Amino acid sequence: MDWKTWCNKSFNPKADDDLPQTMTRLVALAGPSCSGKSSLARLVAEALGQAPILSTDAYYRDLSHLSPEQRTKRNFDHPDAVDHDLLAAQLTLLRAGQPILVPRYDFENHVRQSGADLLEPGPWVVVEGLFLLHWPEVREQLSYRFYLDASEQLCLERRLERDQKQRGRSRESILEQYQNTVLPMRRSYLQADARFAQLSLDGALSLDALLEQVLTVLPGNDPDKAAKGNP
């Protein structure tokens, strides 16, 4: 049995026809790189009672069949870089209240690592990632769809700060990738995906303001209590 089959089936003891009614609501945060998705996802998850967070970063395709030089030439900002079939399958399980095995990805070498991380859903799961609204089979699993936008300049400034401090990259390499792949893919795909969101958010706003907007849409949540740290 290959890795993908194992990951799909290990925690799926029931046939599709026997899956229970939806037990988990999936809150999706999509949008361009460095728009603030990860930071907002943490706040939303906390406000929802420490809901688990699933990042689509875990679903980049395994490039172990390519040489290291070939891997560096791949466009990781294109939707095809993500294994959306596996993502859709696992979101289906989460919606049914079933746990999944989240793949581990080595970003330095662009390969999928051995093993996986167990994610057990509760009433809510927060899902964040660039292209969550791009694929119909993924979109249909999402209970609430938000698109977090920010200007190209603001995203670039945040990316420069993040990648230089956290990933040890040079300013030149960051700018080259941004101009060659990040920006073109944003304009070609992400901006079009925004139309599938139930609500678009302005990433230039404070995280507290964004959290309030999200919680206003979600049923059974009081934005005022969440803002006071009392979700």
> Could you give the CA distance from residue 10 to residue 12 in angstroms, rounded to a whole number?
6
- Residue spans per domain, the chain: 3-211
Q: What pTM was estimated for this model as a whole?
A: 0.83
Average pLDDT over residues 28-47: 96
Nearest Cα neighbor of 108 from 149, 48, 169 is: 169
Instruction: Name which of 29-43, 81-95, 168-182 the model is least confident about.
Output: 168-182
Average pLDDT over residues 187-201: 95
> Could you give the CA distance from residue 20 to residue 22 in angstroms, rounded to a whole number?
6
CATH number given to 3-211: 3.40.50.300
The yes-or-no verdict on residue 13 having pLDDT over 70 is: no
Compute the mean pLDDT over every residue in the chain, rounded to the nearest whole number.
Answer: 87
Instruction: Name which of 16-25, 42-51, 54-63, 105-114 the model is least confident about.
Output: 16-25
Average pLDDT over residues 20-38: 87
Q: How confident is the model at residue 16 (pLDDT cuts 50, 70, 90)?
A: very low
Question: Within 13 A of 121's CA, how many CA atoms are on the CB side?
Answer: 26
E-only strand ranges, the chain: 25-30, 53-55, 100-106, 111-119, 124-129, 144-149, 199-202
The yes-or-no verdict on residue 227 having pLDDT over 50 is: no
